[in-house]
Structure 1
């Protein structure tokens, strides 16, 4: 995904300035992220990786809630800004198609609108990678823009080409990768939203492996 990396490198400072305090204005998003963090912490299966962390503002919020959290991003400029803003946290470059993590290393994965730039054909590979690095009973929280029930739809994203997805289609791909659905949140477009699309969070879990 070199084009996506270059595009976010180019706008990293503007992006960080724009979204640094965005969670303060998003109570529903804060609540679903907080519920996810509590579930991960209760199961205590490992840290949370914020995959596609950008400038690290949500990684820092997750960490403030209790569980250990760290960030991964494709953009080296985003990672540098995240490290500068949150020097006490861990941030690293990486791609969600091949995470530099051990099998079953994580208790949770947050992918907050970071899958939207992936070509649809890569989605099964990414979900298989998420399943690989999550521990038994680990949770995945996936945020994205909603499309209809047909093929994923492209839309005008100011930074890099992006896609909208049917929630049911993504949930089915996740089930095929070995996840079960816990919950979903659908937020209707609000006044002032630049994109008049539904925003969806899918909360998924990797089944607990029975011990013998």
Structure 2
């Protein structure tokens, strides 16, 4: 079974690639969780974050934005002692900042999903990469997303993080054309089946 070239033999990575990565996501809370995890990943490997995802969910109240937006300085200090997550003050504070920004865009757009999907005109971009070296680290869409999200109060949303986010949330199908998931994801897009 052929997969994208970035996948290792680690079962956590295999499961993530085969069942989550690149499949269009519309659930607000899941989109928020993914944004927070992408920010936590900055400078690290995605596998490092995936292996800590359960601990992150527990530490950050299942990524409930309304709860996180109310975190006190004491709560942040508590999180800095949590060995199950990346204990970086800027990254932890960014989750709180992003929860507040999330609330503001939901008020304006009706849902976080509507806001996020507006960056691709509500339609996933289907790419046709045949090898890993063709896949960009950022695109014009991710640069625009980054600019707008920063303007709207989000942090840890540079153009490269935004593109990784777009890939994982299925705003783009960046599975390689030879990967068994490529056609599966295209079929989900055609049927409008988003998770």
User: TM-score, length-normalised on structure 2?
Assistant: 0.30
> Which has more helix, going by share of residues?
2
User: TM-score, length-normalised on structure 1?
Assistant: 0.28
Structure of greater relative contact order (alpha carbons < 8 Å, 6+ residues apart):
2
> Which has more strand, going by share of residues?
1
